[in-house]
Structure 1
C-alpha cells in the first residue's frame, strides 16, 4: 500500500486476503468499545483496528502492538481466536502502520493485553454471532441450534456445516450486535492455556524479518559519528582518510534530534555498511565541548540529588502531618537509596531505513515500538501531513523502551531528505551504550518511624530528572512528577501507615538524555521503598513479611504475599550463612512479590534461588507470563550487581558489553515463577516482575550478612 488511498488490489495483497467478506472495526480500546461493520470505505482503509474474514475463509487481524519479543503476535490473535472458536494457526496477522484509525499502537507500559482484552474479544464475538446468524438463516433453523467451530458454523442437530468464507458475504449484510456475548472464562480453550508460540520457528531459523534484515533497492548506508560529550559542537571535519575507503560515497554534516535538544553529528555514507563504518572510524572531527566537561557528569548530578534530599520536596500526597510527627517520635530512621543511570542495550541496535521521495512523501522501514508515536514525530520533524508518511514496522530485536525514542529514525529522515535517496542508518553497540537515552539515575530519600512495635509513619521523597519534564516538556516547576508519584503512592502499593505518610518530589535536571526503561520509575523506586520497609520492620523487631502484612489491607496483595511465603518456604530454618529477603511492588496493574535466597561466600554472597509470585489478573498464556518474569529477574539482578552508566568530564565511561555487563546464563540462579489466578482485569506482565528483584536481593544480603546495601549497583562478590 503506497498510501492511504490504497487500491483494493493493494489491500488484498498486503493482508493476504482473496476478496472482501465480513470486516469489523473497533471504536476504541476502552472498556466500552463498540464493534462496527466496515463498508466500502475499507478500500481506503478508513477504519479502526479491525478483523476481516474473506470469502475464502481467511481470518486477518491488524495487530496494533509491535512485537519486540514480548509475544504480541501471539497474544493479540489469541484474544480473537478464542471468541471466534478457531485455532491460532487460522488467524493471519498484519501490523498497523501508525495511522490514527488504529488507535494507540505503542508497545509499552505492559499495555497490550490490558488495553485489547475486551475490544478484540468483542470483535471476535460479534463476528461469531453474525456468522452464526447468517448460517441459521441459510438453513432456516434457530440460531440456538448453531455453533462455531474451527472456522465453520455447525448445525448441531444434523451436523451440517458452512465455512466462515461461505458465510462472510451474508454476514456482512447483518447488523453488528451492540453487546455481543463474550465467552465465560471457564469455557476458555486458548486464553489462560499453554500454547506454543507460532512465531518461534521463524525466529530461531532466521526467517523472521527484523529491521537490520531489510534491504531497499537503491539505498545507501549511514554510519553516524556522534559527539563523545553528547552535545558537543563541530569545529572541523577532516574526511581525507575517510574518502580513501572503498565504498564511501560522501561525508555529511547531520544532526541528532532529541526531545529536549538537537545535537550535531557527522554521517559517513557508503554503498555498504562496512564501508560506512570503516569510513567513520577514519574520520577526524574536532569538537567544541563548551562547559560540558564540567557540567555533564553523573557525580555532579548525584551530588545535587543528595543536596536536594536535605530540603523539602513538592508534596504529592500526605496523610497527617508527617514532619511534625517525625520530629516528636523516638524510634525513627532516615536513609538514602540510589539507583544509577542504565542503558537499554537491546541485542538489535537502533536502525531505520527512510526514503524521502520526490513528491515529498516519506516511507519508513524500522523496528519501532510505537508506529503512532513515530508518525507523530516524523510529521512534526519533516513538516508533512500523516497522509504523506507510510511506516512499515518490522520485528524488534529487543527494545525495553529504547525504540520508542526516535532520534535514530529522525536521523535517517534528515539524511534521506538531504541525499534524495533511501538511507539506512545503523547505530553501533558503542553508539547505543554511550549516547543514550538512559533510565534516569534517581535517589529515594526515606524517613519513617515506629511506635509500640509497629511501623506507623513513612515518607518517600523521590529525587531526580523527570521523563515527563525532559521528554514531554510537560512538568511545571511547582508540580510533582505524576508518573512516578502515582507509582509510589499509597493508593498504588496499598501500604497504610496509621500515624502519617507522605510522598514528595524534587526535580534535579540534567542534559543526559533519559527515557523509560523496563518498568520505568518502578525499577528506581521499588529499591528504596522495599528496602526501607525492611529497615523499619527490623527497627520494630518484626519479621519483614509480618510487618508488610500488618501494613497492607488489600486482599490481592495479601494473597500474593501469602503465596510467596508458602512457595519460598519463608519460615524454614536456614543453613548457616544463608539469608532470605522479600519485596513486593505493584506496577502496570499487576502485583509482583519476590523472595531471594543468598549464601555468604568469601567477601560476598551467591544467589541461590529466586521465587516470584505474580498476580496479573487474567492472562493469555501462562508460559509467556513465566518467560517475561524470568526476563525481569535476569534484568533486575543485572541492574543490581552489574554496571551502571556513568559520565566523567562530559563523556560516557561505558562503550560496549565489556564495560556494561549483562548477566550471563552461567550466572543465572534457580528461578521459580508462580501465578495467582485472581480473576481480576488483566494487568501487565512485561515489566511488573522487575521492581521487587533488587530490593529482595538487598534484603537477603542484610539477612545473611548484616550489611545494608543502599546504592546500586554493588559488587556481589565484595560487599566490604
Structure 2
C-alpha cells in the first residue's frame, strides 16, 4: 500500500490506469475528461486494489470488467459503492489495466456480477471497516458507536463526523481485513434497486470513448487484406495502383495470428483511414487456397455431422442402459436438430491501436473483453514480459465474445513493430463477417421414449467442432467435450428421466475458425433439447408444460416455468391459427424460460408476443436485467429466422448486413420480461435469456401449424 504525493494525472499514469477516458461520476471513458475539477497535489491512497481515496475526499473505484454494453461500468462499481456507503454519482469510475492485482478482468460468460459478488463487496466492506476503525480511534470511542454513510463516518452519540478524505491517510496504514462483515441484503440501498445508467448520456451524445475513437500522436492507419479462404497463402502482391493513392505510405506483408494457427495477410499503411481503405481496394493479391476450398466448407462439414449421427458417440454421462431400453421401447422418437455457424457482427468492428517502442515495450489502446488476457496473448506473441505491456481498455461497441479473441490486436502489434510507428488497425464490416471466428454450427442427434404417458428416456448426442479443442487445444481424441457435456447434462438441465438418460459427443473438425458466441453452446443445444422435449411431450399426449413439470423436481425450475405459465397465459384458449410454444434452459447459473405466441400469416407465421422469465438470483439493477434479456430475445430471434454463415469453395457467402440480416425494429413483437426473486447466489444476466428463444419459437410454430422445424434458420414467412 503506497502513499503517493503527486498530481492526479501523474498518479493515474504511475498506476497504469487509463487517462484518455476519465470524468467525474460513472460517465467515465469520455472525450472531455474533467481532470481540471480535481484539486491537484493531494495525497492519493490505495485502500485496496479497487478503491482509491485522496485527502480531498475524492473517491475512485476501479472496474475490473470491461463494458461491452452489458453495464459493467455501473454494475461492478455498485457492489463496491454499496458496501463502501457512497453513491455512484460522487465517484470516479476507471477501468482496470490488466495488472495481476485486480484478479480476473475478462467480461465474458456472464461472469461479472456472479464472480465478483463477494470479492468486490468484500473490498468495499474492508475499506469501510478501515475508515470506521480510524475514526473510532481518533474519537477514542468503540467502533460499534460509529457508522459510515455517504462518504463519511459518523459518531452516533456526539454527532461528530469525518469525511473519508480526512481519514484516508491513517486508514491506509491499517491491515486490510480479510473477512469484513458484509451488509445484510435487506439493508441494500443500491443493489437490487432501480438506478439510472449514468453512463448512457455520454453514449447517446457521442462523448463516450470507444476503441474506434482513439487517436495517438504520430499514429498511422492500416487496412488489411485477408485471404477469402481465411487460411490461404500469398502467391503475389501487386501494389502499384494502391501506392498511387494519396495518403498511402507503404504496403507490407503481415500476419493474422489465431489461437490455432497463423495466416498470411497484407496491410496497407496510410496517413488516414479512408486512404488505407482505398489502397486496400486497389491492391491485387493472388492467393493459394490449397485444400481449404474443401475444408472451409459448411456443406461438407454438416454432411460429416449427419454421418456421425449414425454412429455411437463418446459418452459424457449415462444413467441406466439407454441403448438397451431405447431398443425395447414401444413409443420412441429420433430426430436431428441443426444450428448454423453465426458471426458476432458487433456494431463496432474489431480495432486496435498498438505502439511497439524501441525498447521492445508495447502500449495498446483497444476495445477488448479482458486486459489481462490481452497482456497474456501479447506477451506470448511478442516474447516479452507482462511489465513491458500496457493496455488501455476503451468501451466496447458490442462484442458477444468476439473481442476476447485477440487476432486483431496481434495484427496491430506486428504491423507497428514492422513500421516502427503507432498504428491503428480497423477491420471493415466485410473483414468481420467473412473472417470469423464464428459460433460453431452444431448438430443434436436426439433419441427418447415415453412410458405410461410420461417421458422416461432421453439421449442427447452433440456433434460438431469444439471450442475447447480448436481454440484451447484441450480436447483429446477419446474424450467428450466437458464444456458441452456439462451444458446439456442432467445435472444442469435438472430433468429426471426415470428409465435411462445419456449425453454423448462426437468431434467433427473444421478449418473454419470458431469461438464462443453469446450464450456459447447453450444457443446451439437448447434448440435441440427443448424442441425434442416438446416432441416427446406430444408423443406422451401431454401438455408440453405439464410434461416438463412431471420430470422437473427442482423447485427453482418449477417456479420459473409456473411464473411463465401465469404471465404468458399458457392455459388460455387460443384463436384458430394461433399457437404458443415454450422452452426453459439453465446457463451461467441462471434459469430462463420463454413463451412465444405466433399466428398464421400466408404461408408462414407472424410472431405476436414474447414473454420471458429469468431467475438470476441476486442482481444489481432490475432494469439492466430486463435490458439484457430484451437484447437476448432480439439476438435469439435473429439467430432463428435470419441468415446463418455459410462457406462455399472456401469463401464466406455473406459479407455485410445486407446478406447477414438482423432483426429490425418494425419486425419486433411485443415483449414482456419478468424476474423471479429467488434470493439465490447471483447468476449471469448477459446471456441466459437467449437459449430458450429459438426452441420456444419452433414449438410455437408447431402448435400453430403442425409443422416441426428442426433446422435453423428457417423462413418464418414461408414454412414450405
How far apart, CA to CA, are the structure 1 residues paired with 2:178 and 2:468? 38
CA distance in 1, matches of 2:393, 2:570: 46
> 2:85 is matched with which residue?
85
Aligned counterpart, 2:677: 677
1:603-641: CA deviations, max 9, x gaps? Answer: 000111100000000000000000000000000000000
Aligned to 2:566: 566
Q: Distance in 1 between matches of 2:6 and 2:118?
A: 30
* Cα displacement string for residues 668-697 of structure 1 (whole angstroms, at most 9, x for unaligned residues): 111100000000000000000000000000
Q: Contact between 2:76 and 2:120, CA under 8 Å: does it hold in 1?
A: yes
Number of aligned pairs? 693
Q: Structure 1 residue 600 and structure 2 residue 600: aligned?
A: yes
Q: What 5-or-longer segments of structure 1 have no aligned partner?
A: 26-48
How do residues 19-34 of structure 1 correspond to structure 2 at under 5 angstroms? Answer: 19-20=42-43, 22-25=45-48
C-alpha separation between the residues in 2 aligned to 1:59 and 1:120? 16
Aligned to 1:12: 11
Take 2:713 and 2:550, find their aligned partners in 1: how far apart are those partners?
Answer: 31
CA contact (8 A) 2:5 2:42 kept: no
State the distance in 2 between where 1:120 and 1:90 align: 18
Q: Counterparts in 2 of 1:235-254, with a 5 A limit?
A: 235-254=235-254
1:356 corresponds in structure 2 to: 356
CA distance in 1, matches of 2:175, 2:270: 57
Distance in 2, Cα, partners of 1:11 & 1:323: 68
Check whether the contact 1:329–1:449 (CA below 8 A) recurs between aligned residues: yes
Q: Which aligned pairs between 1:577-592 and structure 2 lie closer than 5 A?
A: 577-592=577-592
Cα distance, 1:19 vs. partner? 4.0
2:21 is aligned to none
Residue 26 of structure 2 aligns with which residue? none
CA distance in 2, matches of 1:331, 1:229: 47
Counterpart CA distance in 2 for 1:305 and 1:294 is 15
The answer (yes or no) to whether the contact 1:21–1:172 under 8 Å persists in 2 is: no
8 Å Cα contact 1:354/1:416 also seen in 2: yes
The CA deviation string for residues 556-601 of structure 1, in whole angstroms up to 9 with x for no partner, is 1111011101111110011111100000000000000000000010
Distance in 1 (CA, whole Å) between partners of 2:337 and 2:560 is 25
Question: CA-to-partner distance for each residue in 1:67-89, whole Å, 9 max, x for gaps?
Answer: 00100000111001111111111
Partner of 1:151: 151
- Counterparts of 2:130 and 2:417, CA distance in 1: 49
Which residue of the partner structure matches residue 413 of structure 2? 413
The 8 Å contact of residues 5 and 44 in structure 2, kept in 1 or not, is answered as no
1:133-282 matches, within 5 Å, as 133-282=133-282
Q: Equivalents in 1 of 2:6, 2:228: separation in Å?
A: 50
**Pairing 1:346–2:369 present:** no
Tell me how far apart the structure 2 counterparts of residues 291 and 137 of structure 1 sit (CA, whole Å). Answer: 75
Residues 174 and 286 of structure 1: is their aligned pair in 2 closer, same or farther, counting only changes over 3 Å?
A: closer
Deviation at 1:308, TM superposition (A): 0.2
Which position in structure 2 is the counterpart of 1:632? 632
Residues in 1 aligned to 2:10 and 2:463: alpha-carbon distance in whole angstroms: 50
SS in 2 for 1:76: helix
Q: Runs of 5+ in structure 2 lacking a partner? A: 18-34
Alignment of 1:436-451 (within 5 A): 436-451=436-451
Distance 2:491 2:113 in 1: 23
- CA deviations on 1:166-217 (whole Å, 9 max, x unpaired) are 1112222334333211111011110000001111111111111000100011
TM-aligned CA deviation for residue 354 of structure 1: 0.5
Classify the secondary structure of the residue corresponding to 1:375.
helix
Secondary structure, counterpart of 1:193 in structure 2: coil
Superposed counterparts of 1:293-332, under 5 Å = 293-332=293-332
CA distance in 1, matches of 2:414, 2:218: 17
User: What TM-score results when the alignment is normalised by the length of structure 1?
Assistant: 0.95
Please state how far the C-alpha of 1:100 moved relative to its aligned partner. 2.0
Residues in 2 aligned to 1:156 and 1:301: alpha-carbon distance in whole angstroms = 71
Contact 2:86 2:151 (8 Å CA) reproduced: yes
Change in 2 beyond 3 A, CA 1:137/1:628: same
What is the distance in 1 between the residues matched to 2:353 and 2:675? 41
Match of 1:494 in 2: 494
What CA distance in whole angstroms lies between the structure 2 residues aligned with 1:602 and 1:145?
73
Question: Aligned in 2, Cα 1:8/1:502: closer, same or farther, shift over 3 Å?
Answer: farther
Matched residues in 2 for 1:681 and 1:198: separation? 26
| Counterpart check, 1:74 vs 2:74 | yes
Alpha-carbon distance, 1:140 to partner: 2.5
Quote the Cα distance in structure 1 between the aligned partners of 2:141 and 2:699.
66
